[in-house]
Amino acid sequence: MIKIAVLGCGRIGRMHAENIHHHPRATLSGVYDINRGASKEVADELGVAEYEKAEDVFQSEDVDAVLIASSTPTHADFIERAVKARKPVLCEKPIDLSLDRARVCADAIRGTDVPIMIGFARRFDKGHAAVRNAIESGEIGEVHQVVITSRDPDIAPDSYLRESGGIFRDMSIHDFDLARYIMGEEFETVSAAGARFVSPRLMEECGDYDTVTATMTTGSGRQCVILNSRRAVYGYDQRVEAFGSAGMAVSENRTEHNARIYASNYTGKAAPLLNFFIERYSQAFISEISAFVDSVAYGTRPPVGLEDGVEAILLAEAAMLSVREGRLVHKGELG
Amino acid sequence: MIKIAVLGCGRIGRMHAENIHHHPRATLSGVYDINRGASKEVADELGVAEYEKAEDVFQSEDVDAVLIASSTPTHADFIERAVKARKPVLCEKPIDLSLDRARVCADAIRGTDVPIMIGFARRFDKGHAAVRNAIESGEIGEVHQVVITSRDPDIAPDSYLRESGGIFRDMSIHDFDLARYIMGEEFETVSAAGARFVSPRLMEECGDYDTVTATMTTGSGRQCVILNSRRAVYGYDQRVEAFGSAGMAVSENRTEHNARIYASNYTGKAAPLLNFFIERYSQAFISEISAFVDSVAYGTRPPVGLEDGVEAILLAEAAMLSVREGRLVHKGELG
Amino acid sequence: MIKIAVLGCGRIGRMHAENIHHHPRATLSGVYDINRGASKEVADELGVAEYEKAEDVFQSEDVDAVLIASSTPTHADFIERAVKARKPVLCEKPIDLSLDRARVCADAIRGTDVPIMIGFARRFDKGHAAVRNAIESGEIGEVHQVVITSRDPDIAPDSYLRESGGIFRDMSIHDFDLARYIMGEEFETVSAAGARFVSPRLMEECGDYDTVTATMTTGSGRQCVILNSRRAVYGYDQRVEAFGSAGMAVSENRTEHNARIYASNYTGKAAPLLNFFIERYSQAFISEISAFVDSVAYGTRPPVGLEDGVEAILLAEAAMLSVREGRLVHKGELG
Amino acid sequence: MIKIAVLGCGRIGRMHAENIHHHPRATLSGVYDINRGASKEVADELGVAEYEKAEDVFQSEDVDAVLIASSTPTHADFIERAVKARKPVLCEKPIDLSLDRARVCADAIRGTDVPIMIGFARRFDKGHAAVRNAIESGEIGEVHQVVITSRDPDIAPDSYLRESGGIFRDMSIHDFDLARYIMGEEFETVSAAGARFVSPRLMEECGDYDTVTATMTTGSGRQCVILNSRRAVYGYDQRVEAFGSAGMAVSENRTEHNARIYASNYTGKAAPLLNFFIERYSQAFISEISAFVDSVAYGTRPPVGLEDGVEAILLAEAAMLSVREGRLVHKGELG
């Protein structure tokens, strides 16, 4: 059993704590949150230790590995401290809102053999992974075009959005990573469009966008389109399509159940889409823990590394630059 | 070009006349209807001859074959006269409401080499035929269970229902034939249930039912269920499912188009099903004419013969007997 | 927290033990199995007590309620003992293979206010429940026809089948209960057909069938068809369709994920169906525990009572009689 | 009855001739083709006049309107001559490969009251039109993002491609028009990416691309993505998705029939998509003729005008420029 401590007891930290607690090959050694109320609640509920300080986690001999789900500005620092303490890390995205800080972090730990994994959980979704498998197995031939649709069921609170770093760094970042995973080749250009339809005033105020489309191309000319919106009234819209020389693979949306209604003025009406990410990606979050546990147990390289986290931030920054300047951006421009 | 005359210019006769008129390998020589107004209208519209008497059709040298779409009580007589005149026949279902009369007709023409085809158009639907093909090709192995769902979008007028011979002879008869086609083995027992939900008063008056389920078994124990209703508010519900030792084949419903709507309280809402049989089975009716034309042109045995028409009536009669007496009926009981 | 003990540590008992262990409003007090190896393994793994004798469970003050997942012949006895000890019961289906024994059990506890629930988990499946809700809400009007398709992915081991009591009591029993739940009206007649296609020799030897169809009617004439097979090569086929005066509701199959593949000779190919019941009905099993916990906590009548268990056995027995005697059976014939 | 002459008897001209011939409110007065063999064949088959010279069509008193389906370089000239002869025109896309020539044509006929319609048939597809209707009716609110997927089943012959004017003018042009129709607002920017995967050598030689993605934005920031490929091995992939503030409408692909196969290693396998445009858009082509007939009969403005044809060429030219220069293009740059 791998003993994992969780840093951060917000919604997602709590979910990870529970998943670790129930995992057949992991145990939750304890939790930490700068807000002691939050950590106490989780610790009590799951019957595990509550750490007073983050440093206690890194120093504890009872901790084999750490999961970082604290606020974004703490991520890079915690990663560096975990590596120094030789604790394998599973860190929630993004590494940092700043590409520079993410790169400093990458430099700081370069060469370490401590497993570091970034929490791009969607790679572990069985549907999305089946699309990737259809490419790897050769079933759909060489991939030419990828379309990722990712729309939230509703816009987050203003306070969250103000701190989010913008839609590309906060939301699309999952899709940038997924795009690289599905495509299997690095992107070189990004051309993005942004609009303010859901919360125009706040978006204007923050210089942010709530409705964006990003088109990326690889060196060999493969094309990927990402469509994002902060609000899809029909639920959490999560689809991936890969078109290739020998076929197409599509990961469709999931509903809570598969009942359909037929009546005098419609047919096949189903329930709204699963809402929200904790429900939609519940299987993915559990599989993500399993992949991390494997990596810790066998000392192998995690399937999503720090470099993947840096690359996703880079694409997010390129997309933001593209929208702001109304032009196609070459990734190379960002150094 | 095969020259075909159409007897009967009601809704379905008119449709056949148009299909023949537009068919690449057939021409419409002319039309006949006991109601001269109806035949004149069709003849004028399509620019073809109008026959004064049915006998003119059978005697005409300009007629290679006849399509019988007149009222049910005329079918058996017209078939016999057509055979005598050596005109190949495509006759709408049923041969007659009476099993005895149908058998007399069969006896009268026994041994003839004049092609006689019964209009069970559903066999020619590409979806339903694909189910049959999945069995014949071995793709789903040996078939064990067949389910045919066939519900009309709305109940016919009272006057029609009074003359219809009852739901089994009028409506289910298509499904009895389809069941035999899909199953590829004769049925031996029939157990049916009937209810009066759509038009209880009229059904009571006619000793008829509007909502029925019939279960049939073959000699080897294969099972087939037919579900019928005179009214499905969501449209014309036409499905076939064949379950076999190596898989399942299902012919699903068709809609006029494939647009789907997603909104805040539902997902995937589509248009109502195609309504009614002329729209749903438009391809099947055209393919049926092609099959008949082939048979006339090459003198080959039509894919649906008079004996298939008799067998379907037999099953309809067994089903009615089963409902009336509340018991399982062996087909052999009907002679 | 409701403290629940589990009797029986086979595959399904173990699953229930885990579900209770992880349930937010229940705790697993301990487990019992006549095979001490099995109970020790579960007790150790989950860190709970292991009871030496069944009686220890009933006498324990640390047990608020019991879940019976032991072998079928013990069910009725354990239910009676639990009621005597005033422990609420959630008992796996069936109450007993014998209708008489089930009725004796029902008589023995008649009038008790101890909650007794029978484990017909499918009622708790969100898809199937949505069909029921579409009826209760009036969305599809009055229900006229119900079709339940329930096919196992593969036939059970011979040893299991020999003890199973036959397909109707072992497998269809879930569908008989679901049919009553969906229909909301009692059935009066049963006409069933059975065949031996999957394992003909063993079925012959046991006087059992592996491929069956049962048609039931209610007093008002509503019709329900159940289609079962011991082997569907494409996976665990679980569907419910309710057709009513104002529409239709269908609970479709679930797949592990929603990826679809399109290639040169096919489109929309998906993964096989979820296999087997523990995976397909995982949500239902958890919701079932919740319903039981509610009932225990508030002393309310469970949503599936002993009488439902008896009624399902009655229908199973009527179906078996129908197949054996090749006739329609009135439920009333069975007393 | 509106008497229509068809100019051009290639594959699409022939199809239009047949559709007019069978149309209830139109008659085919005759056909013309510079290749007399082609026009004779169609004239003989349909029993209509064969015009020796194009001018005969424009001068004939027996011609109420003309359908231009001749080779692209003749379109603009024929439009101008038809207008001069006061014959309403339905002209196949594109008006011309050159934006300048199309504009000259537009100038030449400016102010005429002769109905001129451009053959963007996809607007008349019931599925795609249902997406537009969902926007117009307010059902999905204000549209924010549109995705059009349009992939041919296989690449056209080299000779065709060499004369086609490139993928944007030849193939995407339908999608540019559809995008405008669905969006209901003009586009201002175009950013496109192109690759050579299907026929790299020929594409290189022609300076053309076979796999392209174009992203366009409107003045209000709405986004539209078009995905094209010259070869989708699974068939003719034709989909439209409109995402709006109150929902989403999607026009899905059509298959020849709706049979699905389930087997041991897959579920829901369907037939390949309809192939090719004459089959997929058969309903649309007939509805297009109806719309044209309405316009001629009532002297009303056709639903797709010459200006729509010009605008689509403009977007095609912008897209080509974007790919060639690797930058976002403002439509205004093209004058």
- Mutation to test the B interface, candidates D23, D122, D132, D260, most B Cβ within 10 Å: D260
Provide the pLDDT for residue A335: 85
Chains near A, with 3+ CB pairs < 8 A?
Answer: B, C, D
Of C191, C231, C233, the CB nearest to B191: C191
Among C67, C251, C24, C235, smallest CA distance to C146 is for C251
- Predicted confidence at residue B275, as pLDDT, reads 86
CB contact under 8 A, C266 and D265: no
A:C CB pairs within 8 Å? 90
CB B294 within 8 A of CB B162: no
Q: Band the pLDDT of B293: cuts 50, 70, 90.
A: very high
Q: Do D249 and B262 touch (CB under 8 A)?
A: yes
Which percentage of chain C shows pLDDT scores above 90?
99
Strand segments (E) across A219-263: 223-229, 237-244, 247-251, 259-263
- Convert the pLDDT of each residue in C76-89 to its tens digit: 999 999 999 999 99
Question: What torsion do the CA atoms of C85, C87, C89, C94 make, to the nearest 10 degrees?
Answer: -10
φ/ψ of A144, rounded to 5, equals -110, -40
Report chain C residues whose CB lies below 8 A from the CB of D266. Answer: 234, 269-272
CA A70 to chain CA centroid, nearest Å: 14
For D:186-215, CB contacts with C below 8 A are none
Check CB contact of C155 with chain B, cutoff 8 Å: no
Q: Which among A131, A252, A259 has CB closest to C250? A: A259
Asked if the C-beta of D273 comes within 8 angstroms of chain B's C-beta atoms, the answer is no
Cβ of B271 and A267 within 8 Å? Answer: yes
pLDDT at A274: 86
Mean pLDDT of C317-321: 98
Chain A residues within an 8 Å CB radius of C252: 258-260
Contact D272 C264 (CB under 8 A): yes
pLDDT of residue A53: 96
Angstrom CA distances, B281 to B69, B238, C301, stand at: 16, 10, 51
Chain D window 239-258: which residues touch C at a Cβ cutoff of 8 Å? 253, 255
Report the gap between the CA of A44 and the closest CA in chain D (Å).
42
Separation CA C335–CA B299 (nearest Å) = 62
Do the chains contact at B268 and A270, CB–CB below 8 Å?
yes
A137 lies within 8 A of chain C by CB = no
Mean pLDDT score across all residues of chain C: 97
> For residue C335, is pLDDT > 90?
no
C237 touches C149 (CB < 8 A): yes
The answer to whether D145 faces chain A, any CB pair under 8 Å, is yes
Q: pLDDT by residue (tens digit) across C153-192?
A: 999 999 999 999 999 999 999 999 999 999 999 999 999 9
Contact call for C253 and D264, based on CB within 8 A: no
Test A271 with B270 for CB contact under 8 angstroms.
no
Distance CA C44, CA D58 (A): 94
Cβ contacts of A234 on chain B, cutoff 8 Å: 262-264, 266-267
Q: For chain B, give the mean pLDDT.
A: 97
User: Is A234 in Cβ contact with D189 (below 8 Å)?
Assistant: no
Which chain D residue has its CA at the smallest distance from C253's CA?
Answer: D267
d(CA B32, CA B5): 8
> What is the per-residue pLDDT for C274?
86
Q: Which of B141, B217, B245 sits opposite C193 (nearest CB)?
A: B217
- Do A191 and D215 count as a contact with CB atoms less than 8 A apart? yes
Residue A268: its chain B contacts at CB < 8 A? 260, 268-270
Establish if D108 touches chain B: CB-CB under 8 angstroms: no
Rounded to an integer, what distance in angstroms lies between the CA atom of residue C52 and that of residue C67?
A: 16
Could you write out the three-class secondary structure of A5-67?
EEECCCHHHHHHHHHHHHCCCEEEEEEECCCHHHHHHHHHHHCCEECCCHHHHHHCCCCCEEE
Minimal Cα–Cα distance from B169 to chain A, Å? 27
Does B335 score more than 90 pLDDT? no
Q: What long-range pairs does B35-39 form, CB within 8 A, spacing at least 24?
A: B35/B9, B38/B9, B38/B10, B39/B9
User: Could you tell me how far CA C232 lies from the centroid of its own chain?
Assistant: 19
Across the interface, of D233, D263, D271, the residue whose CB is closest to C234 is: D263
- Whether residue B157 has a cis bond before it, omega within 30° of 0: no
Contact B151 C243 (CB under 8 A): yes
CB-CB under 8 Å, A234 with B267: yes
- Name the pLDDT band for D93 (thresholds 50, 70, 90): very high
Lookup result for tokens 């389906």: D69
pLDDT 10s per residue in chain A (335 long)? Answer: 999 999 999 999 999 999 999 999 999 999 999 999 999 999 999 999 999 999 999 999 999 999 999 999 999 999 999 999 999 999 999 999 999 999 999 999 999 999 999 999 999 999 999 999 999 999 999 999 999 999 999 999 999 999 999 999 999 999 999 999 999 999 999 999 999 999 999 999 999 999 999 999 999 999 999 999 999 999 999 999 999 999 999 999 999 999 999 999 999 999 989 889 999 999 999 999 999 999 999 999 999 999 999 999 999 999 999 999 999 999 999 98
Which residue is associated with the tokens 């197409």? A248
Q: Which residue of A has its CA nearest to D217?
A: A193
- Name the average pLDDT for chain D: 97
Q: Nearest CA to CA, how far is C28 from chain A (Å)?
A: 15
**C126:A257 CB<8 A:** yes
Give D109's pLDDT tier (boundaries 50, 70, 90): very high
C232 to chain D, minimum CA–CA distance in Å? Answer: 8
| Chain A residues inside the 8 Å CB shell of B272 | 264-267
Residue A251 in contact with residue A127, Cβ under 8 Å? yes
Contacts of A234 in chain D (CB under 8 A): 247-248
Torsion (CA) C170, C173, C175, C178 in degrees, nearest 10 = -140
Distance CA C189, CA A263 (A): 29
Query: According to the model, what pLDDT value does residue D213 have?
Result: 98
Which residues of A fall within a CB distance of 8 Å from B255?
267
CB contact under 8 A, A213 and D211: no
Nearest to B261 among D140, D256, D257 (CB): D140
Q: Nearest by CB to D139, from B125, B131, B263: name it.
A: B263
DSSP lists the bridge partners of residue B216 as B190, B224
**CA D315/CA D331 separation, integer angstroms:** 7
Question: Tens digit of pLDDT for each residue in B194-253?
Answer: 999 999 999 999 999 999 999 999 999 999 999 999 999 999 999 999 999 999 999 999
The per-residue pLDDT for range D111-161, each reduced to its tens digit, is 999 999 999 999 999 999 999 999 999 999 999 999 999 999 999 999 999
Structure tokens at D59: 């001068």
Distance from CA of C260 to the nearest CA of D (A): 9
What would the mean pLDDT of D159-169 be, rounded to a whole number? 96
- Residue type at A178? L
Inter-chain residue contact D271 with C271, CB threshold 8 Å: no
Q: Are B198 and B155 in contact (CB under 8 A)?
A: yes
Question: CA of A164 to nearest chain D CA: how many angstroms apart?
Answer: 22
- Neighbour subunits, C (≥3 Cβ pairs < 8 A): A, B, D
Cα torsion A58, A63, A65, A69 to 10°: value is -70
Q: How are strands ordered across the β-sheet holding C116-119? A: C49-50, C26-32, C2-7, C65-68, C89-92, C116-119
Q: Work out the minimum CA distance from A145 to partner chain D, whole angstroms.
A: 8
Percentage of residues in chain B with pLDDT exceeding 90? 99
| Residue of chain A nearest C130, judged by CA positions | A259
B145 and C232 within 8 Å at the Cβ level: the answer is: no
Comparing CB atoms, the residue among A247, A256, A260 nearest residue C261 is A247
Angstroms from B227 CA to nearest CA on chain C? 8
**Residue D35 phi, psi (nearest 5):** -90, 105
Sheet holding B2-7, edge to edge: B49-50, B26-32, B2-7, B65-68, B89-92, B116-119
**For B212, nearest residue in chain C (alpha carbons):** C223
